[in-house]
Amino acid sequence: MFRMGTRVEVKSDEEGYNGAWYGAFVVGTIGNDKFMVQYQNLVTDDETAPLREVVNTEHVRPCPPSVPSDVQFKLFEKVDAWFNEGWWEGEVSEVLYGFKYKVYFSSSNETLEFNHSGLRHHQEWNNGKWIKV
């Protein structure tokens, strides 16, 4: 499904990062069920190079299409928030003044504040199609 050089998002199952999606490029395939990816924003432990990792196909999806977000997000709307170099699924728990929002993350049971530009509409990749949730 993905060729070398394709931009993708990779889901993490690592403790503390569970459910986050990170931007990457496919740099190779391994058999029928794995990809070698290079992350856009994650680096090696010594911070000298972009992190590369072998991931299972079920943890890889295409990058979601842009959905216009020129209107305010609504209370209780599902969003993805840019945090710790990845996109984390949350829910708008409070709409603040000046296009700012508080977002609740059930995965960590915490609420953080974000600017409008740090959020995107949450979408699910399902049977080869993007569905706005």
Does 102 reside within a domain? yes
Do 57 and 13 have their domain in common?
yes
Do 57 and 82 have their domain in common?
no
DSSP state of 66: P
**Is 106 exposed, middle or buried (CB count within 10 Å of its CB: 0-12, 13-18, 19+)?**
exposed
Which residue, among 12, 13, 35, has the nearest Cα to 25 in the 3D structure? 35
- Host domain of residue 56: 7-62
Per-10-residue mean pLDDT, the chain, length 133: 92 85 96 94 93 94 84 92 95 95 94 95 92 85
CATH number of the domain that 19 lies in?
2.30.30
Q: How many domains does the chain have?
A: 2
Does 20 reside within a domain? yes
Residue 69 pLDDT: 67
Residue 60 pLDDT: 95
Residue 68 pLDDT: 75
Does 69 reside within a domain? no
Does 71 reside within a domain? no
